[in-house]
Amino acid sequence: MTDAVRYEREGDVALILIDNPPVNALGHAVRQGLWQAVDRFADDDARIAVILGEGKLFLGGADISEFGKTPLEPHLPDVCTHIERCPKPVVAAIHGPALGGGCEVALGAHYRLAMQGARLGFPEVHLGLIPGAGGSQRMPRLTGVGPALDMMPAGGSVSAEQALKIGLVDRVATGDVRAEGLRFAQDLLADGAGPRQTGALPCPAYDAEAFDAARALWTKKARGEVAPLVAIDAIEVATKLDYDAGVKEERRLFFSLMETPQRAGMIHAFFNDRKVSKLPELDGIAPRAVDSVGVIGGGTMGAGIATACLLAGLPVTLVERDEASADKARATIAGYLSAAVKRGKLADAAPVLARLKTVTNYAELGPVDLAIEAVFEDMGVKKDVFARLDAVMKPGAILATNTSYLDVTEIAAATSRPSDVIGLHFFSPAHVMKLLEVVVPDTTAPDVTATAFALAKRLKKTAVKAGVCDGFIGNRILATYRGAADRMILDGASPWEIDAAIKAFGLPMGPFEMGDLAGLDIGYMTRQRKAATRDPRDVVPTWADEMYHEGWLGQKTGRGYYTYADRKGTPNEAILPMIDAARGDRPQRTFTPEDIQRFYMAAMVHEAAKVVGEGIAARPLDVDVTLLYGYGFPRWRGGPLHWADSVGLPALLADIQSWAETDRYFWQPAPLLQQLVAEGRSFSDLN
């Protein structure tokens, strides 16, 4: 037996203990150990075996780090079948998560016990895969196709209680998993229970309506992601083929997905999610304690930030300029919380709202550990707020700004304690969006940065460290690819063609739909702010200024790039004369969706290369995570720089160089991109 799997005896019961920290992934040593443990059980005089996971969970699934390498025997489907074909009964005793291959091992066992708090599920589609060790064949045999169609295309999971209800487990218990596993085994022996093979159960009934509904749902929802629809195909296989043939077909589908760029993109994203908060410079730096938070400003952003903190269990003191504004902020927060209750995300809003104090006096922020400013985006206003915070906040407290582009170093300099000042750039709606850009000026103390990351974790946000520049990582890159879209309009593309092409690439919205949603006044204000320092070679979308002056601000006024008789919107052709005027006698060309995607994505990658090259993002993965969590970049493409690697940097650079011949200003070469191409390296080499 391997070190990862132990075999113990308790009277008639054999215990097979899987011990492969941190998540008991089913790597080669575990598979081998499980196989040998089943053989040993078959050979000795134990009458029943219980498979258990050591530590905080049962099994976290196949070892993802082995994907893409040559699989070593025994393969997981064979291990599950080996368990199932054991001549004596085998029980899986599940505590914590049993995911993917972990759930498949449990389904290979003859009986399943789930402890309260356990979760059984198939997250494979989040890795661009489907269950590949019999899960798509065994689960529908146990539960019928309905629960499998709910779970597998969504990458979902169920609680122990739900698992019992749908027939995925046989018993739910509380207490110690080992003791309860033994008790269940003894009860089964007392009942004379024998081995019971799920794979030998008849095919589940085919339900045409359920399959049609699932396919319709996932064709719409998946937006280019292939695995959810393949998961549905695999479940259908279970209704048609016997187990052995079905599992072979499942394996074929699994390996066809293993070869796709989508699988590589999603696994890149999986590991980035974990790497992004691991910053070598914060190694061993303890965060400061944050037991209370202040928020300055109760508009959309401030109210969202306050809601996120309240939901994380933190007491919040929110400062507004007068009673009426404070009441309005409270009402906004109450509205967000009741929406969370309606969506089933929160049981009761009252105790959460009870943690909120709204005040009109900065002095009330004296005792808080961290204050986040979310007032109007204006340097003068921000500096004034920070001077006031500096005057009232206790020593050691953290002063944070939610600015989305202003110079945080300059804001920090308005205080007597720049080392306590940091940027916390939330995305709207702040209680929903996952991304938090942590903007770190050179003056910030390392334990303040560590505290920002610790707070993000508490708020269940994904934090990315960014340096100081206009727009930080995300908005700086956004400004460039938005600029690319405006250039394409001047050259002959319509906003609607651009939106359609970008959605076809996999983003939930195109840039002009996004503008309509956010409000076209935002872009106008940004252009005004930049007007004084604008380079004469910058493209100014004069049509967008005209739209602003017409009062066409997007969804909120019912008219922007689209008109909104309904939520979807139809192209607002009244803007065409405005666009034509901006085009003047510029030569026009047609754009295919591929042309649009190539130009737009190259602009994104090109600016991202500058952001990494200048150290605004520490690594390419920080850009990838930012675009995924803040800007709707499709997860199955991994992120813009992973995507760039996958299409090849030389081809991208060649495109950029050819466009630079006519627009040298916009396509000023990114030194890092040139360097990587010259050295034959890719962005992933820098992660």
Task: For ligand 3H9, give the closer residue by CB, 10 or 66.
Answer: 66
Smallest separation, CB 180 to ligand 3H9 (Å): 21
Size of the site for ligand 3H9 (CB under 6 A): 25
Smallest separation, CB 56 to ligand 3H9 (Å): 7
E-strand ranges in 347-429 read: 356-359, 370-373, 398-401, 421-426
Say if residues 315 and 304 touch (Cβ distance below 8 Å): no
Judged by CB under 6 A, does residue 64 bind ligand 3H9?
yes
Smallest separation, CB 225 to ligand 3H9 (Å): 15
Return the range that interacts with ligand 3H9 (CB under 6 A); candidates 2-10, 56-64, 202-210, 331-339: 56-64
Binders in 592-621 for ligand 3H9, by CB under 6 A: none
Judged by CB under 6 A, does residue 228 bind ligand 3H9?
no
Judged by CB under 6 A, does residue 23 bind ligand 3H9?
yes
- Count H helices and E strands in the chain, helices first: 28, 19
Question: Tokens 């941190």 appear where?
Answer: 22
Binders in 69-98 for ligand 3H9, by CB under 6 A: 76, 97
Task: For ligand 3H9, give the closer residue by CB, 25 or 318.
Answer: 25
Task: For ligand 3H9, give the closer residue by CB, 55 or 483.
Answer: 55
Say if residues 318 and 361 touch (Cβ distance below 8 Å): no
Smallest separation, CB 558 to ligand 3H9 (Å): 43
Binders in 126-155 for ligand 3H9, by CB under 6 A: 127, 129, 131-133, 135
Task: For ligand 3H9, give the closer residue by CB, 160 or 644.
Answer: 160
| DSSP line for 556-586 | GGTBSSEE-SSSS-EE-GGGHHHHHHHHTT-
Please pick, from the candidates 14, 34, 37, 62, the single residue that binds ligand 3H9 as defined by CB under 6 A.
Answer: 62
Judged by CB under 6 A, does residue 166 bind ligand 3H9?
no
Please pick, from the candidates 124, 447, 491, 624, the single residue that binds ligand 3H9 as defined by CB under 6 A.
Answer: 124
Task: For ligand 3H9, give the closer residue by CB, 81 or 555.
Answer: 81
Q: Contacts by 389-396 with C-beta closer than 8 Å and gap 24+?
A: 389/296, 389/362, 389/365, 389/415, 390/414, 390/415, 390/416, 390/417, 391/362, 392/362, 392/363, 392/365, 392/366, 393/365, 393/366, 393/368, 394/366, 394/367, 396/288, 396/420
Smallest separation, CB 271 to ligand 3H9 (Å): 6
Report, as residue numbers or ranges, the catalytic residues: 104, 124
Binders in 350-369 for ligand 3H9, by CB under 6 A: none
DSSP letter assigned to residue 67 = T
Q: By C-alpha distance, which of 55, 41, 57 is closest to 8?
A: 41
C-alpha to C-alpha distances, 660 to 349, 463, 564, 606, nearest whole angstrom: 55, 35, 38, 12
Task: For ligand 3H9, give the closer residue by CB, 152 or 370.
Answer: 152
C-alpha to C-alpha distances, 450 to 309, 565, 625, nearest whole angstrom: 17, 48, 19
Smallest separation, CB 61 to ligand 3H9 (Å): 3
Binders in 246-285 for ligand 3H9, by CB under 6 A: 271, 274
Task: For ligand 3H9, give the closer residue by CB, 76 or 375.
Answer: 76
In what helix (H) or strand (E) does residue 438 lie, and over which residues does it extend? strand 435-439
Say if residues 684 and 644 touch (Cβ distance below 8 Å): no
Q: How far apart are CA 222 and CA 207, in angstroms?
A: 22
Contacts of 562 (CB under 8 A, 6+ apart): 496, 512, 513, 516, 569, 570, 571, 572
Say if residues 230 and 252 touch (Cβ distance below 8 Å): no
Contacts of 556 (CB under 8 A, 6+ apart): 519
Smallest separation, CB 101 to ligand 3H9 (Å): 3
**Residue 419, Cα to own-chain centre: how many angstroms?**
31
Smallest separation, CB 4 to ligand 3H9 (Å): 13
Please pick, from the candidates 53, 60, 294, 640, the single residue that binds ligand 3H9 as defined by CB under 6 A.
Answer: 60
- The two tokens of residue 291 are 């037991």
Return the range that interacts with ligand 3H9 (CB under 6 A); candidates 17-25, 454-462, 606-614, 635-643: 17-25
Task: For ligand 3H9, give the closer residue by CB, 23 or 611.
Answer: 23
Judged by CB under 6 A, does residue 304 bind ligand 3H9?
no
Judged by CB under 6 A, does residue 99 bind ligand 3H9?
yes
E-strand ranges in 444-597 read: 462-466, 562-563, 570-571
Can you name the residues that pair with 62 across neighbouring β-strands? 26
Say if residues 180 and 98 touch (Cβ distance below 8 Å): no
Return the range that interacts with ligand 3H9 (CB under 6 A); candidates 59-67, 464-472, 604-612, 659-667: 59-67
Residues that bind ligand 3H9 (CB under 6 A): 22-23, 25, 60-65, 76, 97, 99-101, 104, 123-124, 127, 129, 131-133, 135, 271, 274
